Amino acid sequence: MNKAILKNYTILYVEDDEEVRRIAVEYLSRICKKVYEAENGKVALNLWRDEKPDIIITDISMPKMNGIDMARYIRAEDQKTPIIVATAYTDQDYLMKAVELQLVKYIVKPITKDKLMGALELSLQRMEDKSKFSLPLSKECSYNAFSKEIHCDGKPVKLTKNELLFLDLLAFNTSRVVTYEEIESQVWPYEGMSSDAIRSLVRALRKKLPDDALENISGVGYKLRVYDGE
């Protein structure tokens, strides 16, 4: 999953263990738009009503109101917001309640980055509002990783098949340089990639992208620059 997409989303993290919550919030704050934190279900419900987070991650066993009861309250009004449950329990009753409440994922502690990112990826896949899947390329242009379209000044920019394959590969790997080998495998898996073919593709795509959006790392490959407002 492209972590850059998470920069468009807010997360409510609910956990009564202060140290566990601190570590998780610190990590999530680096990859998403904003993190709201709560130490129990009652505090979380108030934050949910006031802030309307895009994704909820909650522990089950907490004082005042546990995560399952909190999720039940939310589901009575909201069937869409993805809810991820993280708990040390593996009891079948909890698993059944998680299914009944249409929870996205049941993560057994200890929580790892891989478990968390897997659950967040499922959450994004289930969201109905795909408008936030947008990667900013400039003030005027963005690439929507769900609809696979470039929009500049509100107007769609037409892409060829190979341009789309190439751009999509870069968009889902914005944190690193995509190598020539990876590009060949994605865009020219059968016929192979010639130097003329990649140069021609990049030249044509640069005309459709904002200046400096496509960066060449000599001898290695290409990287898509995501606009950060500066």
The predicted model scores a pTM of: 0.63
Whether residue 106 is found in the same domain as residue 165: no
What's the CA gap between 131 and 111, in Å, rounded? Answer: 29
Give 172's DSSP letter: T
For residues 199-222, give the mean pLDDT. Answer: 94
Q: How confident is the model at residue 98 (pLDDT cuts 50, 70, 90)?
A: low
Whether residue 116 is found in the same domain as residue 181: no
Which SS3 state, helix, strand or coil, does residue 15 take?
Answer: coil
Q: Is residue 229 part of a domain?
A: no
Whether residue 9 is found in the same domain as residue 108: yes
Which domain range does residue 61 map to?
Answer: 3-126
Domain stops at, among 126, 142, 163? 126
Q: What is the pLDDT of residues 117-163, one digit of tens each?
A: 888 888 887 776 666 678 889 999 998 877 788 999 888 898 999 99
What's the CA gap between 201 and 217, in Å, rounded? Answer: 16
Whether residue 120 is found in the same domain as residue 11: yes
The predicted pLDDT at position 193 comes to 92
Instruction: Estimate to the nearest angstrom the gap between the alpha carbon of 92 and the chain centroid.
Output: 30
- Number of residues assigned to the chain: 230
Task: Report strand pairing: 83-87 vs 55-59.
Answer: parallel
Number of helical H runs and strand E runs in the chain:
9, 12
